[in-house]
């Protein structure tokens, strides 16, 4: 399994995930600079995920220990900190189903009714952090017994079903904040 740890795509993802997590944990001295750095780090980790997803999943292994996962209280503390940092820029509008694939030669029809919903950038960033951080911690501990769960949480469960969706919405919100 060490070949997986030595894989450049796996190393790149681990490094970009660690960078994102470090930014979320860091004290914020210059809000605009921090927002720009988070935007870049999030775009980078999002772009690295499909490459990592192409690697073969590791064999079964141990679950990441609970001690490395965020508790609900820790998540809530992080969420409230991010909410305070973002202030009035925290909430944004998004569409639950933003795209309906229409064949090229199909007649133009209006999309089905799908009104905007309110998104929360603090929730997005805190959830992405919660999904990435345990894997980063265990990856950095060099304990390959947990590689299966690291990859499962980063890609199979996280990117595909959870943090990837938060990332897309967060990137759109951050882009609008940084480039009005």
What does the pLDDT read at residue 86? 93
CA distance 58 to 95: 35
What does the pLDDT read at residue 1? 46
The answer to whether the beta carbons of residues 1 and 58 sit under 8 Å apart is yes
Q: What is the band of 4 on the pLDDT scale with cuts at 50, 70, 90?
A: confident
174: nearest Cα among 2, 4, 24: 24
* Domains along the sequence of the chain with CATH: 2-97+114-178 (1.20.120.1550)
Residue 177 vs residues 18, 97, 171: alpha-carbon distances, Å: 24, 22, 10
Please determine, for residue 63, whether its predicted confidence score (pLDDT) is greater than 60.
Answer: yes
What does the pLDDT read at residue 104? 64
Please determine, for residue 103, whether its predicted confidence score (pLDDT) is greater than 80.
Answer: no
Please determine, for residue 62, whether its predicted confidence score (pLDDT) is greater than 80.
Answer: yes
Q: What is the band of 102 on the pLDDT scale with cuts at 50, 70, 90?
A: low
Higher pLDDT, 169 or 104: 169
Mean of all residue pLDDT scores within the chain: 88
Please give the average per-residue pLDDT across 80-99, as a whole number. Answer: 84
Each residue of 118-128: pLDDT tens digit? Answer: 899 999 999 99
Please determine, for residue 45, whether its predicted confidence score (pLDDT) is greater than 90.
Answer: yes
CA 164 to chain centre: 5
Please determine, for residue 112, whether its predicted confidence score (pLDDT) is greater than 60.
Answer: no
* The model's pTM: 0.88
Please give the average per-residue pLDDT across 111-137, as a whole number. Answer: 88
């Amino acid at each position: 399994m060490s070949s997986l740890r030595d894989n450049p795509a796996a190393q790149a993802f681990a490094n970009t995930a660690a960078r994102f997590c470090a930014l979320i944990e860091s004290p914020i001295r210059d809000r605009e600079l921090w927002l720009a750095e988070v935007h870049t780090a999030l775009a980078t980790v999002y772009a690295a995920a499909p490459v990592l997803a192409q690697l073969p999943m590791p064999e079964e292994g141990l679950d990441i220990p609970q001690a490395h996962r965020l508790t609900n209280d820790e998540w809530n503390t992080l969420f409230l900190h991010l909410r305070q940092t973002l202030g009035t820029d925290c909430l944004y509008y998004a569409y639950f189903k933003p795209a309906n694939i229409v064949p090229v030669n199909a007649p133009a029809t209006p999309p089905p009714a799908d009104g905007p919903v309110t998104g929360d950038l603090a929730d997005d960033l805190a959830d992405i952090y919660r999904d990435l951080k345990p894997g980063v911690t265990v990856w950095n501990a060099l304990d390959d017994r947990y590689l299966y769960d690291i990859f499962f949480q980063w890609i199979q469960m996280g990117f595909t079903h959870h943090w990837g969706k938060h990332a897309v919405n967060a990137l759109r919100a951050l882009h609008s904040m940084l480039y009005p």
